[in-house]
Amino acid sequence: MIKVFTTIGNYVLLMQKVFSRPQKGRIFWDQLMNEINFLGLESLGIVAFISAFMGAVVSIQTAFNITSPLIPMSMVGFTVRQSVILEFSPTVISLILAGKVGSRIASEIGTMRVTEQIDALEIMGVNSANYLIFPKIIASILINPVLIVFSMWMGILGGWIAMVMTGLVSTNDYVQGMRIDFQGYTIFYAITKTIFFAYIISSVSGFYGYITQGGALEVGQASTKAVVFSSVIIILFNLVLTQLLLT
Amino acid sequence: MIETRNINKTFGDHHVLKNLTISFEKGKTNLIIGQSGSGKTVLMKCLVGLFEVDSGMVVYDDRNFTTMNFEQRKTLRQEIGMLFQGGALFDSMNVQENVMFPLNMFTKQLPAEKLERVNFVLKRVNLDNANLLMPSELSGGMRKRVAIARAIAMKPQYLFCDEPNSGLDPHTSGVIDLLIKEITEEYDITTIVNTHDMNSVLSIGDTVAYIYKGELWWKGNKETILHTDNEELNDFVFGTELTSRLKR
């Protein structure tokens, strides 16, 4: 138990160092653009692939389960929309990003730690925590909502393509279902969750990378810890945020 | 000049540095030697502030480093250059970007001025025309030379070298040693080299401090080290087959 509190304490202390004014605005801007590219745009492919296929699977499963003639086939579009917007895109895609982006952040910073690159920054008088972690947090907070909205779009598109190709539901029914009782607040809810999850992924992964000590083995362990703890914290916060935002 | 006054450092129950008082002179290559685990790396990390001392003080030319706050240390650190064991070059940057990094961070020079300084220091370490190479494309000796170029880019007053010869062949080690000595004399800076390479000791050791179990056990220079009657130091100096044969 003491170890848990020590870890939380060290995390808070590190975040105090992270959230300070960058040394040079121009350098921070360059780093931010790089991180948006590395952490966000390079994830577009995997996000598109998973979202499209998950949307397709959800639509086929829903159509398969509608056996009563009293339930209109437009419910397929409705179900895909609700599943994708409320849960699949913000939470499941964030968990996937925790794996992809989190391990990258932890291993990159961890390697810099064990090869003394972070010590070199400190010796020069650079606030290494701020220099390395702050741009990643800001980039994730900016780009992850874009990825999630893109994921929503791909999920719904995947569902529609699956319905058209199988002939289970017509385009008219699918689109009609998607429009039933739409509330813009669900998008706000999804993006709010995404911003929290983006912060969790980048800060927790940055923390585990930054405190790495040892060699290649420890970098691997840091990477694993970053993914596991980011995922666990996302799941916990998913419940808390859902309770706060939807009730 | 850099001094430590009665510094102590412990890790848990392990007392690594014991009441260590030592001074390092300006314009000279000051070597710290000792067996692995003797505390010389901890001493160097305490000197540059990567470890905080438990008690005692580290003084840079009458400026007490131990009591400085973050901003004061940041200012002082711009006068410090450090060469790490593995070079510690930034993997994502090429040679030019690595050397230019401190200039970008701490100066308001124009890009042309920064490039001129980078080319000057790269030429000084005999690495002209290597600007666009990535660290992964460099040999061990080249990495060390780029690291030296980065360390001197800001015209430091203090240069720290942590085992600059580790992993290098004897010839390249000699080149790096010579470079460190030349730079020290040329810029009149205080250089501290952490090593257990006796070749370095005998070639560049203006002052030599032998650390034994966290204490300053002996201090002298490259001339006197071979004629001491200090038993532990002799075990260290003549501990290899080659040096013991030379002694006989």
Res B227 pLDDT > 90 = no
Q: What is the pLDDT of residue B247?
A: 64
Confidence of residue B246 (pLDDT cuts 50, 70, 90): low
Confidence of residue B175 (pLDDT cuts 50, 70, 90): confident
- Distance between CA B208 and CA B225 in Å, rounded? 8
Q: What is the mean pLDDT of residues A124-143?
A: 95
pTM of the model: 0.89
Q: Quote the ipTM score.
A: 0.87
How many percent of chain A have pLDDT more than 70?
A: 100
What is the DSSP code string of B211-230? Answer: EETTEEEEEE-TTTGGG---
Each residue's pLDDT tens digit, B230-244: 888 888 877 777 666
Output the CA angle A240-A244-A246, nearest 5 degrees: 115
Nearest-CA residue of chain B relative to A17? B70
Chain B contact residues (CB < 8 Å to A): 48-50, 73-78, 80, 82, 84-86, 88-91, 101-102, 104-106, 160
Task: Kindly list the domain boundaries of chain A, sorted by start residue.
Answer: 24-246
Q: What is the mean pLDDT of residues A152-170?
A: 94
Mean pLDDT of chain B: 89
Q: What is the mean pLDDT of residues B136-156?
A: 91
Cβ <8 Å between A120 and B88: yes
- A 17-56 residues inside an 8 A Cβ radius of B: 23-24, 27
Q: Which of A144, A126, A150 is nearest to A27 (CA)?
A: A126
Cβ <8 Å between A24 and B104: yes
Q: Which of A76-85, A167-176, A209-218, B159-168 has the lowest mean pLDDT?
A: B159-168
Q: What is the pLDDT of residue B234?
A: 82
Res A65 pLDDT > 70 = yes
Q: What is the pLDDT of residue A82?
A: 94
- Distance between CA B40 and CA A34 in Å, rounded? 39
Q: What is the mean pLDDT of residues A65-90?
A: 91
Each residue's pLDDT tens digit, A181-198: 999 999 999 999 999 999
Q: What is the pLDDT of residue A128?
A: 94
Each residue's pLDDT tens digit, B67-88: 998 889 988 998 999 999 888 9
Q: How many CB pairs under 8 A join A and B?
A: 51
- Closest in B49, B88, B105 to A117, CB measured: B88
Q: What is the pLDDT of residue A247?
A: 80
- Distance between CA B204 and CA B224 in Å, rounded? 13
Res B144 pLDDT > 70 = yes
Classified as helix, coil or strand, B24 is strand
Using a CB-CB cut-off of 8 Å, the residues of chain A touching B85 are 116
Q: What is the pLDDT of residue A15?
A: 96
Using a CB-CB cut-off of 8 Å, the residues of chain A touching B102 are 124
Res B112 pLDDT > 70 = yes
Res A153 pLDDT > 70 = yes
For the sheet containing B14-24, what is the strand order? B14-24, B2-11, B55-60, B63-64
